[in-house]
Amino acid sequence: MQIHYLEIVTNSVDDVCGTYEATQDITFSAPEPMLGNARTAKLVSGTIIGVRAPMRDTEAPVVRPYALVEDIDYAVTEAEKAGGQIALPPMDIPGYGRCAIYIVGGNDMGLWQL
């Protein structure tokens, strides 16, 4: 399994980005509108970290890993068969690929197809 995108939803975007920049020697981008205004940084491993504020009043802070998959539709179907609750069906993010979110064991999990 490869984590392609690690999403951090927080009420303190600048603080989280600043802490990672200071401790991990990375630099975050300006907000990227196609990723919910997440500020992103690419790690040496190729994983991308995105830090953004909640997009609605009911969205709680969360750390959500997105596993890279070859066929997101198949992966979503299998996640649902295995007991996952689909929170966001596959959606296109122009220029970035496709993503989906499911919940299992009370944890948000993501899938990403390039």
Residue 84: what pLDDT? Answer: 97
Residue 24: what pLDDT? Answer: 94
**Among 107, 42, 91, residue whose Cα is nearest residue 99:** 91
Residue 67: what pLDDT? Answer: 98
Q: What is the pLDDT of residues 43-95, one digit of tens each?
A: 999 999 999 999 999 999 999 999 999 999 999 999 999 999 999 999 999 99
Residue 95: what pLDDT? Answer: 95
Domains in the chain, please, with CATH? 1-62 (3.30.720.120), 69-114 (3.10.180.10)
Average pLDDT over residues 14-31: 97
pLDDT band at 109 (very low <50, low <70, confident <90, very high): very high
The HSE-up count of residue 27 (CA atoms within 13 Å, CB side) is 2
Mean per-residue pLDDT of the chain = 97
Residue 88: exposure state from Cβ atoms within 10 A (0-12, 13-18, ≥19)? middle
Cα–Cα distance for residue pair 106/101, rounded to 1 Å: 12
